[in-house]
Amino acid sequence: MKSQDLDTIFEQFNHLNALVIGDVMVDSYMWGEISRMSPEAPVPVVAVTKKENRPGGAANVALNIQALGANPILCSVIGNDHAGNQVIELLKQQNLPQHGIIQDNDRLTTVKTRVIAEGKHQLRVDEEIEIEISSVLQRKLISIVTKLLETEKIDVIIFEDYNKGVLTKFVIKTIIKLANSKEIPTVVDPKQKNFLSYKNCTLFKPNLKELNEGLSIDVNPGDKNSLFDGLEKLRSEIHFKNALITLSELGIAINDGKKSFVFPAYKRNILDVSGAGDTVLSVAALCLALNLSNKFIASLSNLSGGLVCEKVGVVPINKDRLYKEASIFID
Task: Quote the domain boundaries for residue 272.
Answer: 3-26+55-109+129-329
Query: pLDDT tens per residue, the chain (331 residues)?
Result: 555 699 999 999 999 999 999 999 999 999 999 989 999 999 999 999 999 999 999 999 999 999 999 999 999 999 999 999 999 999 999 999 999 999 999 999 999 999 999 888 899 999 999 999 999 999 999 999 999 999 999 999 999 999 999 999 999 999 999 999 999 999 999 999 999 999 999 999 999 999 999 999 999 999 999 999 999 999 999 999 999 999 988 889 999 888 888 998 877 666 655 668 899 999 999 999 999 999 999 999 999 988 877 776 667 899 999 999 999 989 7
278 catalytic residue (yes or no): yes
Question: Is residue 158 in a domain?
Answer: yes
Instruction: Identify the CATH number of the domain in which residue 96 sits.
Output: 3.40.1190.20
pTM above 0.85, yes or no: yes
Number of structural domains found in the chain: 1
What torsion, rounded to 10 degrees, do the Cα atoms 164, 186, 317, 194 define?
20
- Exposure pattern of 59-85 as b/e (b: 16+ CB <10 Å)? bbbbbbbbbbebbbbbbbbbbebebbe
Question: Is residue 38 in a domain?
Answer: no
Question: Is residue 74 in a domain?
Answer: yes
Question: Is residue 198 in a domain?
Answer: yes
| CB-CB contact of 14 with 69 (8 Å) | yes
Question: Is residue 117 in a domain?
Answer: no
**Could you give the CA distance from residue 292 to residue 314 in angstroms, rounded to a whole number?**
27
Question: Is residue 32 in a domain?
Answer: no
| CB-CB contact of 242 with 258 (8 Å) | no
Question: Is residue 46 in a domain?
Answer: no
User: Which of the following is catalytic: 7, 278, 320, 331?
Assistant: 278
Question: Is residue 34 in a domain?
Answer: no
